[in-house]
């Protein structure tokens, strides 16, 4: 009798770069930011699952040469593991305290949630995955998660929440979720020196 061949569940990971970065920072995980996302995601998969791709969504920081250099180094390290990077906009402005009148500079990331939502839906339409692993706690992504489940019943969105970013509205519409723990993050770090796709040495930043 011929054995049935069970296909593995195809997984694409969609990562909100700023969401996981600020989640780790808020949690005090200062030594976890040289994060090898591919290694982390592989550690979250089950044996019957197969990683098809990793898509990382971020924006280029501005007006801070040190931050720009650190971000570029990290992105180059990610791309050495075949992570595909998608860029939104980084907009700077000012905010004012209504009580005291103090004004300070602020920066906001734009388009990341829209880029993630669009890419997840288009990939579902193209039948590129069976499960989308979303690493974000941005509640703006709740509607696209619902839309994927309603329009593509055979597919599912699983959420891996960054530290300090758990969101109840998202977990209710997801088909499975977890919170990424400290142990997983610290076990998924790049080596201190990473070789870029073009052959250059990338050194772990001394500070973030």
Domains and CATH numbers, the chain: 9-203 (3.40.50.1010)
Residue 191 exposure: Cα atoms within 13 Å on the Cβ side: 8
Left (φ > 0), alpha (ψ -120 to 50) or beta: where does 127 sit? left
Mean pLDDT score, 47-55: 97
Q: Is 81 helix (H, G, I), strand (E, B) or coil?
A: coil
Summarised one tens digit per residue, pLDDT across range 112-127 is: 999 999 999 999 999 9
Answer whether residue 41 shows pLDDT above 50.
yes
Backbone angles phi, psi at 98, to 5 degrees: -70, -25
The pLDDT assigned to 102 comes to: 61
pLDDT-based confidence at 14, cuts 50/70/90? very high
Whole-number mean pLDDT of the chain? 90
Tell me how crowded residue 161 is: count the other CB atoms within 10 A of its CB.
22
Backbone angles phi, psi at 87, to 5 degrees: -110, 140
* Cα(163)–Cα(136) distance, integer angstroms: 10
Mean pLDDT score, 29-36: 93
pTM: 0.88
């Amino acid at each position: 009798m011929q054995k049935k061949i069970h296909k593995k569940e195809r997984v694409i990971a969609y990562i909100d770069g700023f969401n996981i970065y600020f989640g780790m920072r808020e949690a005090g995980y200062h030594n976890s930011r040289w994060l090898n996302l591919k290694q982390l995601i592989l550690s979250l998969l089950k044996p019957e699952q197969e990683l098809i791709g990793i898509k990382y969504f971020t924006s280029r920081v501005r007006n801070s040469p040190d931050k720009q250099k650190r971000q570029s180094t990290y992105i180059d390290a990610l791309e050495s593991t075949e992570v595909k990077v998608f860029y939104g906009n980084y907009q700077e402005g000012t905010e004012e305290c209504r009580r005291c009148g103090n004004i300070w500079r602020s920066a906001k990331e734009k388009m990341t949630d829209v880029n993630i939502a669009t890419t997840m839906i288009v990939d579902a339409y193209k039948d590129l995955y069976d499960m989308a692993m979303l690493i974000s706690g941005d509640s703006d992504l709740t509607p696209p998660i619902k839309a994927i489940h309603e329009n593509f019943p055979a597919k599912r969105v699983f959420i891996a929440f960054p530290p300090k970013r758990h969101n109840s509205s998202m977990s209710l519409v997801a088909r499975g979720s977890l919170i990424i723990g400290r142990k997983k993050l610290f076990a998924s770090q790049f080596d201190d020196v990473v070789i870029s796709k073009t052959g250059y040495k990338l050194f772990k930043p001394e500070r973030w």
